[in-house]
């Protein structure tokens, strides 16, 4: 069974809460192997490696989390702690200072580190609604999450997919465009942007996005499937234009219960009229 990365991360959170850090690592490494891991997954993986005394591995994943989300205060704090453990005090101090600076930028009236926690709680509640079929409520929770964490592109990506599922392709397109502008190398978001364009009726934009994705990731089967779908649709639209003009008279002569001779007579009459000047 194909288990979604979101589901694996949720399971990893459960293992982490039970202090089963190796279990969490196993699940999170599966997520990373899919190439679709988000900042939260790398942060939790880094924290788990830290707690099993593997600071180098921890640092690598915390760095990756901060690459995906430079405003991730918790990842900065935990990175500073790991750097201290490695004896890199100057870098640790710089990371702590950066975390303090971000913590001082209020969002929706809350300090950034508080806003980040609230954003993640909204996202978790949104996931819970989604699991039981509450798509509208899930979307509302993710919108609240992004108001508190506008740079959390992992949450924005999930919201975009939910909006597509709700039939709101134009809204989804807006969110995927924001992600792709901020992170041009995030090809999963680019592929979904193409799908949002297509579902919103903009086939030309979809084709341009997907062709760009194919150039950058030629091995991605989804992109090939999307482009093949576009090609089939283009062929279906073009097909009626290629039908010979005589096809219409064949249809007339065979329909309506009329006799063969009567159909031929009308055809001859039409031909005669066309010959007249």
* Domain termination site, one of 103, 124, 140: 103
- Which CATH number characterizes residue 51's domain? 1.25.40.10
Same domain, 95 and 181: no
* Domain termination site, one of 103, 122, 140: 103
Number of domains in the chain: 2
* Domain termination site, one of 82, 103, 124: 103
Buried b (16+ CB within 10 A) or exposed e, 252-262: ebeeeeeeeee
The answer to whether 62 and 78 have CB atoms below 8 angstroms apart is yes
Q: Would residue 139 count as lying in a domain?
A: no
Q: Give the structural domain span for 219.
A: 168-238
Q: What is the DSSP string of 143-154?
A: HHHHHH-TT-HH
The answer to whether 27 and 11 have CB atoms below 8 angstroms apart is yes
Question: pLDDT 10s digit of each residue in the chain, 277 long?
Answer: 456 777 788 888 888 888 899 999 999 998 888 776 788 889 999 999 999 999 999 999 999 989 888 878 788 888 988 998 888 988 888 887 777 766 555 666 677 667 888 888 999 999 999 999 999 999 999 999 999 888 888 899 999 999 999 999 999 999 999 999 988 888 889 999 999 999 999 999 999 999 999 998 887 788 888 888 888 876 665 555 444 444 343 434 333 333 333 343 434 333 343 433 3
Quick one: CA torsion of 13, 14, 20, 25, rounded to 10 degrees? -40
Q: Would residue 274 count as lying in a domain?
A: no
The answer to whether 27 and 35 have CB atoms below 8 angstroms apart is no
């Amino acid at each position: 069974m194909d288990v979604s990365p979101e589901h694996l991360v949720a399971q990893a959170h459960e293992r982490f809460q039970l202090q089963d850090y190796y279990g969490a690592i196993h699940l999170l490494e599966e997520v990373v192997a899919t190439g679709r891991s988000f900042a939260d997954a790398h942060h939790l993986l880094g924290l788990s490696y830290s707690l099993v005394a593997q600071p180098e591995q921890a640092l690598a994943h915390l760095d990756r989390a901060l690459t995906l989300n430079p405003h991730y205060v918790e990842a900065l704090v935990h990175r500073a702690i790991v750097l201290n453990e490695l004896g890199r005090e100057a870098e640790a101090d710089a990371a702590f200072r950066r975390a303090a600076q971000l913590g001082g930028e209020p969002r929706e009236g809350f300090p950034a580190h508080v806003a980040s926690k609230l954003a993640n709680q909204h996202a978790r509640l949104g996931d819970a609604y989604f699991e039981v079929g509450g798509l509208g409520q899930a979307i509302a929770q993710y919108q609240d999450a992004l108001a508190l964490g506008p740079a959390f592109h992992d949450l924005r990506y999930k919201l975009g997919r939910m909006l597509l599922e709700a039939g709101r392709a134009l809204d989804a397109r807006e969110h995927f465009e924001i992600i792709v502008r901020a992170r041009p190398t995030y090809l999963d978001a680019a592929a979904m942007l193409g799908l949002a364009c297509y579902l919103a009726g903009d086939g030309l934009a979809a084709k341009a996005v997907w062709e760009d994705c194919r150039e950058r990731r030629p091995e991605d089967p989804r992109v090939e499937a999307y482009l093949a779908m576009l090609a089939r649709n283009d062929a279906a639209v073009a097909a009626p234009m290629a039908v010979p003009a005589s096809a219409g008279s064949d249809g007339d002569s065979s329909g309506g219960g009329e006799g063969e001779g009567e159909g031929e007579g009308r055809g001859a009459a039409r031909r005669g009229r066309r010959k007249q000047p």
